[in-house]
Amino acid sequence: MLYHLMNKISTHFGKLLFVLTIFVVLVFQGYWIYISFQNKKEEILERTRSEMIQLLVNNMLNEPILKQKLSKKNKSNKKEKIEVFISEPTKTMVNESFKQQNTAFYRDEKLDVLLYISMKSTLKKMLNKDAEITILYEGKKIKRIYPKNAKTEDKNTTAHVNSLLGLNTTYRIHIENMKSLVISEIKETIIFSVLYVLLFLVTIFILFKSLIFNQKLLKNKEIFTRNMTHELKIPISTILIAAEGLEKHDIINQPENAKKYAGMIQRAGRQLSQLVESILQHARSDHNTEKLLLTSINLAHLLEDVKENLSGIIHKKEAKISITNIDQNIHVKGNYEQLTQVFSNLIDNSLKYSANSPLVLISAEKTGNNVLIRIKDNGLGIPEKYTEDIFSPYFRIVNDDTHDIKGFGLGLSFVRKSLMNQGASIKIIRQKTEGTTMEIKIATDE
């Protein structure tokens, strides 16, 4: 009970659940990358601000006047506080910057240059990539930007840092290539997320294809079981009726009745044999792992043999099979028995799905190393939407014109698989007029 309920749910809501699952996973992964991006961005800005504070403090400590004031207060206390607040690598870097500039103290625009040079170097070491930055100074009555004439925005900019030069004077740093810096920092996260999404989508695709295939297979098997039951009932009923007649009648004194019932049994047995053979053909094509033995086959002789094998059906249907424009010297590379069954199936289909006086035209022409064989009939034709489905196992077109036609829907499935095993292919050529044209492409052996 539970199995049938789950199967019903998967059948009706499977596609919707797959789409919903994909949407949720994509949204989650996108949100995860967004949060990672924002967190890393804030981290870079905070670290930049921290390094800027240390640079500004180092700059002030190198000012002689401030040094004197600090020494008068408490030399020991000064040293202790400075050592705690300022890291040794920062001191070394700033001192090197001072040596390069041949000065110990920067004020006003000179401090902007110092911050610019020092912070670019610091950020490159910190991020392993060049950072494009802009120094923003804001005083009581003046605002400066370095490099001059640079355009900045409020986003991707650190918080204000007191410049220690006076009240209400602050510095900020704007990182122009923030996006590329953050992406380079979280590239592992992005790569992992992308690979995860790709793996997930491939898995979902496989599961979705499996779901569709299973649904189609269940439906086709149901159709096959129904058709098989219907097809087998007729010959079995015929055999039972004939056996009952033989049992009731005096077959010794009535030889004509015995002959009639024997003929009924023979025809029913032949029909059963054909049904079993069609099923076995499909089973063999599905499970045969051995490589077919391909030999050189005279195409014209092969088609004549097939025509002869179907002579009984051709005569009964009052059909005409015309083999035209086929060079008697054309040889194809294939398996004789398999090709015989292939052409028998195709011609038999043309006869079954044709109205009165069926006409089947078979032609062939060489194109390079291949031979194109066309089988054209004047039958009911195949709707364009079914041109691929008809090669699927158990599939049958059911409408007012074809519901009485016998078969399991295995013939064309066997034809395609058999031709593929022989390195050949088959397709339907769309016709503007009635009927169907099948085109087989097979290698020559010349």
Inter-residue contact 345 to 438 (CB < 8 Å): no
Which residues contact residue 109 at a Cβ distance below 8 angstroms, ignoring those fewer than 6 apart?
Answer: 144, 146
What was the pLDDT predicted at 92? 52
Residue 74 lies in a domain: no
Q: What is the CATH number of the domain that holds 410?
A: 3.30.565.10
Q: Which residue has the tokens 């900019």?
A: 157
Low-confidence ranges of the chain (pLDDT < 50): 1, 3, 65-70, 73-87, 89-91, 93-94, 97-106, 400-403
H-type helices in 299-356, by residue range? 299-309, 311-317, 336-352
Domain that holds residue 421: 293-443
What was the pLDDT predicted at 43? 94
Residue 431 lies in a domain: yes
What was the pLDDT predicted at 30? 93
Where in 258-309 does DSSP place strands (E)? Answer: 295-298
Domains: count for the chain: 1
Element (H, E) at 161: strand 161-162
What are residue 425's phi and psi, to 5 degrees?
Answer: -145, 165
Residue 325 lies in a domain: yes
pLDDT, one tens digit per residue, over 240-265 is 888 887 777 776 777 777 778 788 88
Residue 174 lies in a domain: no
Inter-residue contact 200 to 59 (CB < 8 Å): no
Q: What dihedral angle (degrees, nearest 10) is formed by the CA atoms of 283, 288, 293, 299? A: 30
Inter-residue contact 395 to 409 (CB < 8 Å): yes
Residue 237 lies in a domain: no
Residue 268 lies in a domain: no
Exposure b/e, 353-366, CB count within 10 A at least 16 = b: bbeeebbbbbebee
pLDDT, one tens digit per residue, over 23-66 is 999 999 999 999 999 999 999 999 999 998 888 888 777 655 44
Whether the full predicted model's pTM is greater than 0.75, yes or no, is no
